[in-house]
Structure 1
């Protein structure tokens, strides 16, 4: 985030349109989603913000979902220090090299089959669990996988939005 203190709902509601869209874009790399969610301000509760975020995500075209995926590195890939992705994938860094290698191979297989990055809500999950989920999802057909991926994207967005509202960002 670009601020040094927790934004809080009131702070988010008071941001300029541009600043609100920037904050939202840091949560989800879809400019259309960010613009549409920001247009719903002021929100009277965090739940209302989360519901709007989910609703707008459901309405995005597949092309725009692909743009949102561009903001997510591969599970196990090197990520920018202090980024949301680094925090979310923290447990992967602790995995043994064999698991990391299997994740890298699984990511490649997944991308070849589905044409996009393997997206999973990694927060609090060990690398072995993320690998097991990846392996299981490789059995999905493309349509099923797109639905699963959208659900995972919504979970990640909710975590990031909640963090944006409640956590200090200079830590």
Structure 2
């Protein structure tokens, strides 16, 4: 364990001991899928963050197409972070300094993608530039719906891991 990591016991303490409705609300802030949140609740207690992340990955792998659609409903389009939501702005930071032409192109790609697949273009945007997000949207719009659904599952898995780590950090700071 590195000095910057909290002790494993404190990472899972809140998640294991807090009332179910509080944990469910926190998990639904991480991912809008009720099935995913329920699966993580059902697998309590967690020994550490690694166990929580593994359970999250397993729950994501088990989601149906409908569950994935519900999970995606909690994500704003790339280039338009949810107003007043610092997590959304942080996750999409790569678009913040993008040129107006790149933002316009991303808007057009978002609309074309949504028309083709029926949901927002979803990518784990953390650490990506606006150009990288645009290039991914350009490439992925040619995918079949089945291919794209599995890519979205992978992207949601990455996003959930980042958000669960942030939740663990926040709850560890409270302890």
- Per the TM superposition, whether the score is higher than 0.5 is yes
- Alignment partner, residue 98 of structure 1: 101
Stretches of structure 2 lacking an aligned partner (at least 5 in a row) = 1-5
Q: Is 1:13 the equivalent of 2:34?
A: no
Q: Is 1:131 the equivalent of 2:137?
A: no
Show CA shifts across 1:59-117 (max 9, x none).
Answer: 11111110111100000014222332211001211111000000000001111111111
Is residue 8–residue 164 contact of structure 1 (8 Å, CA) maintained in 2? no
Q: How does 1:67-106 map to 2 (within 5 A)?
A: 67-106=70-109
Q: 1:166 aligns with which of 148, 151, 169?
A: 169
Q: TM-score, normalised by structure 2?
A: 0.88
The range that moved more, 148-157 or 74-83, is 74-83
Quick one: distance in 2 between partners of 1:138 and 1:54?
A: 25
Quick one: distance in 2 between partners of 1:67 and 1:152?
A: 14
Quick one: distance in 1 between partners of 2:118 and 2:51?
A: 33
Following superposition, the deviation at residue 130 of structure 1 comes to 0.3
Q: 2:153 aligns with which of 131, 140, 150?
A: 150
Stretches of structure 1 lacking an aligned partner (at least 5 in a row) = 1-5
Runs of 4+ displaced beyond 3 Å: 167-170
Quick one: distance in 2 between partners of 1:63 and 1:143?
A: 13
- Alignment partner, residue 3 of structure 1: none
Higher RCO, 1 vs 2 (CA within 8 Å, ≥6 residues apart):
1
Q: How many residues align?
A: 165
Q: How does 1:18-29 map to 2 (within 5 A)?
A: 18-29=21-32
Q: TM-score, normalised by structure 1?
A: 0.90
Cα–Cα, structure 1 residues 78 and 161, in superposed 2: closer, same or farther, change >3 Å? closer
- Alignment partner, residue 109 of structure 1: 112
Quick one: distance in 2 between partners of 1:70 and 1:38?
A: 21
Following superposition, the deviation at residue 8 of structure 1 comes to 2.9
